[in-house]
Structure 1
Amino acid sequence: MTDPRTVAQPRKPAVVGLLLMLTLLGVFPIDVVLPSFPALSSHFGNPLSDIALSVSLFAVGIALSQLLVGPLSDAMGRKRLLLSGIVISGFGAAGCVLANEFWLFLVFRIIQALGCGCFVLSQALIQDLFSGQEQQRLRIFLVTCGGIFISVSPLAGTGLQGWMGWQGSFLAFIALAVGAFVAACCLLQGAGHGWQTKRLGFIASYRNVCSDFSFMAYWLISALAFSCHFSFIVISPLVFIDQLQLSPQAFSLALLGYGLAYIGGGAFATVLSNRIDSHTQIITGLCLILAAGLLMLGLFSTIDLSITSVLLPMVVCTAGTTIARAAAHTRAMNIFPEQAGTSASAGSVLIFVIGGSTSAAISLASLDLQLTLALCLITLSLLGITINQLVQRRHRGLLPG
């Protein structure tokens, strides 16, 4: 049987385009709807707290879906499961547009989330369809683009809200999902079937990957790096709108500028990937995050809160996050290549849990938000460095098996 990683050279740009679309669909539905909260509240006659509940339920739905998607894709193949997920997510989005009661809107929002869980398969598809340095470069590229998508989604949501009302973000999602469905049908020829693997049961699959210390450690490093970025995104409205009194439009533009910093971080990570090994890349990325935390702490102590005093350290953090996550992803995914789907799901759920709990802790902290974020960057980077050193010591045989 043909190795699925032997993608014909002329098809590679198209496959990368599909992976990019899956990355966009994985983050787009959460942040793009934020500017529509007031409109949704007015339409359904429910308070803003109820609308916020829909985002929480959506996140929970994605996490639960991802737990199932990985092992299922290892058993039945990526393509069929991905196409099914796209259809389910599109159906859920369409139901949200047509819903005339809030409870019905919540039901379809959860259905959309369950379908969106399939987009975690982008990591497994990289493992299936590419090899060697291509995997590393692709992960750097997708991490970079994912950060940009998260950052610009509120701005896109503002535009869609002004153009088509609150339904605009769901209609845009449906259009993107249709494009992804067509692309997946044309480009994925039995992806995930080339490994001739033993099909483990659901629990056994997770037990197999999660019992490996290095696998969990590398995904934990990736989760810690992502938490630094995600925590900033979550508290950014509190800092820029509540404290600095920016308008929603100015806030969206500030996040757009932050998102553009991911391009520089991705370029830097690409250069490093060709010059140093992945272990050194992880250390370099985490040290940049540590430097960002120390810079933010210094700015907090010396000058008043401003856009610059927050964004400048976060630009440095962005470069570190991009470098560390891509290298840690590749190391983790290479441990169980025959269970790429389960590996991707386990890592994604870990990232979701740690990112969500960290951002919630920062939001609820009694300290100043800028100070709390600075301490968070310092703490998470030091924890990541410690974990990475433990992995390296184990690989050298200095720790028991």
Structure 2
Amino acid sequence: MDHSPTTPKNTSAVILLLTMTLLGVFPLDVILPSFPALAERFNTSSADIALSVSLFAIGLSFSLMVIGPLSDSLGRKKLLMAGMAVAIAGALGCMAATEYAWFLLFRVVQAVGCGCFALSQALVQDLFVGRQQERLRIALVTASGIFISLSPLLGTWLQAHLGWQGSFEVFVVLGLLVLFKAWLLLENTPGTAAGQRHIFAAYRRVFADLSFLGYWLISALAFACHFSFIVISPLIFMEQLQLSPYQYALTLLLYGAAYVLGGIGAGVMNRYLQASTQIVTGLGLIALSGLLMLLLQQFELSVATVLVPMIVCTAGTTITRPVATSRAMGIFPHNAGTSASAGNMLIFIAGGLISGFINLSASNLVMALGLCFLGLSAIALGLNSLVNRRYQGACV
């Protein structure tokens, strides 16, 4: 089953998943070059705009609490289409906002709708089998990294031609395309957990499994390292280093190379190495990046002293997350929606809280990042040691 041929339906599913992945970068990444314009528009600081991104991530995490369990009982199609409709409404509200408070409110509405993107993990679990799932997750993480690295360049172009509203306008167009594609492709058949409608009972079941919780926490901690850098990167590059939005966008193109490198490495490791070894390798790279970032503090702040450690960190994140996610999702295959929501909720809570905390360390953002990478990777390595023994015991 791992080597089943590609069918037109599978190809269409991959296209849908890639479009959802692309759509996911707009609320968090394409908007980055518009920070100064947004700050001017709403008469606030760029730091406040950065905090709004962290708030978006936290709002998204709460949406995830209901999306997954409901999709297990109501079906993926209904929830995906409903979520996209809410996200589109939120984006339209952001474009119409005249005050910062209203902008924040509609960003939260957009975040609530974007919770449906977590269903991509459930769709991978539903539509693909065995190693196909891990290979597709590696491809999606790699594609996400490429989209993220290109998104500031796209954001700069949109800012120059359409203003800060441009990213929201393209989000609406892509959202409508996802709605149409989901309507054509997906069947609204509930999962095998159709009778399980009590959300808290669903979460109690998955979170009671320590291996499930541990693997998702590893993925969440790795994501938090990447997400923290993305959120504060405009403050480092455009405010402290005085790069133009275009120079900032070109800088992040180099950052994207780490995703490609990490994706290639993850693909090779997936064929030859055990999951635990892959996770240790990825987390080791994140720890190394934190050490590099702290050591380079003795030199004057520059693009290189920030970007080189981040390239190492991102390669480690790209190696760690797909395998940790696959191990977590494989524990409850018949509750894929709940599993995906639970895991993504952890991911965005961790990303939002940790990035918000680092953003408050305005005196030395780079040092705060380095300490964060070292601390989070150490915690994740300890978790991996614990859950790997449990996972292997469960498979015997």
Would the TM-score normalized by the shorter structure come out above 0.5? yes
Aligned-pair distance for 1:356? Answer: 1.9
Q: Name which of 117, 121, 124 aligns with 2:122.
A: 124
Q: Aligned with 1:274: secondary structure?
A: helix
Aligned-pair distance for 1:102? Answer: 5.5
Structure 1 range deviating more: 364-373 or 71-80? 364-373
Hey, what does 1:206 align to over in structure 2?
Answer: 203
Hey, what does 2:151 align to over in structure 1?
Answer: 153
Q: Which whole-Å CA distance do the structure 2 matches of 1:278 and 1:156 have between them?
A: 35
Q: Which amino acid aligns with 2:265?
A: F
Q: Aligned with 2:137: secondary structure?
A: helix
Alignment of 1:36-185 (within 5 A): 36-40=34-38, 43=41, 46-48=43-45, 55=53, 57-99=55-97, 104-185=102-183
Q: Name which of 359, 364, 384 aligns with 1:363.
A: 359
Hey, what does 2:229 align to over in structure 1?
Answer: 232
**What's the % identity of the aligned pairs?**
55
Deviation digits for residues 315-361 of structure 1, max 9, x if unmatched? 12111111110000000000111111111111111111112222223
Q: Name which of 287, 290, 302 aligns with 1:290.
A: 287
1:31 aligns with 2:29: yes
Q: Which amino acid aligns with 2:229?
A: F
The answer to whether the 8 Å contact 2:97/2:103 transfers is: yes
Deviation digits for residues 2-41 of structure 1, max 9, x if unmatched? xxxx996222222111101112222311332333344445
The answer to whether the 8 Å contact 1:310/1:370 transfers is: yes
- In structure 2, the CA distance between the partners of 1:166 and 1:395, relative to structure 1 (3 Å rule), is closer
Q: Which runs of 5+ in 2 are unaligned?
A: none
Q: Aligned with 2:196: secondary structure?
A: coil
The answer to whether the 8 Å contact 1:219/1:328 transfers is: yes
Hey, what does 2:217 align to over in structure 1?
Answer: 220
Q: Aligned with 2:242: secondary structure?
A: coil
Aligned-pair distance for 1:99? Answer: 4.5
Hey, what does 2:321 align to over in structure 1?
Answer: 325
Q: Aligned with 2:112: secondary structure?
A: helix
Q: Which whole-Å CA distance do the structure 2 matches of 1:277 and 1:81 have between them?
A: 35
Aligned-pair distance for 1:245? Answer: 2.3
Normalised to the residue count of structure 1, the TM-score between the two structures is 0.89
Aligned-pair distance for 1:111? Answer: 2.7
Q: Which amino acid aligns with 1:380?
A: L
Aligned-pair distance for 1:67? Answer: 1.0
Hey, what does 1:3 align to over in structure 2?
Answer: none
Hey, what does 1:241 align to over in structure 2?
Answer: 238
Deviation digits for residues 94-152 of structure 1, max 9, x if unmatched? 33334556655444433322211111111111111111111101111111222333333
Q: Which whole-Å CA distance do the structure 2 matches of 1:102 and 1:241 have between them?
A: 22
Q: Which amino acid aligns with 1:374?
A: G
- In structure 2, the CA distance between the partners of 1:198 and 1:236, relative to structure 1 (3 Å rule), is same
Q: Which whole-Å CA distance do the structure 2 matches of 1:370 and 1:103 have between them?
A: 29
Deviation digits for residues 62-99 of structure 1, max 9, x if unmatched? 22211110111011000111011112222232333345
Hey, what does 2:376 align to over in structure 1?
Answer: 380
Hey, what does 2:264 align to over in structure 1?
Answer: 267
Q: Which runs of 5+ in 1 are unaligned?
A: 1-5
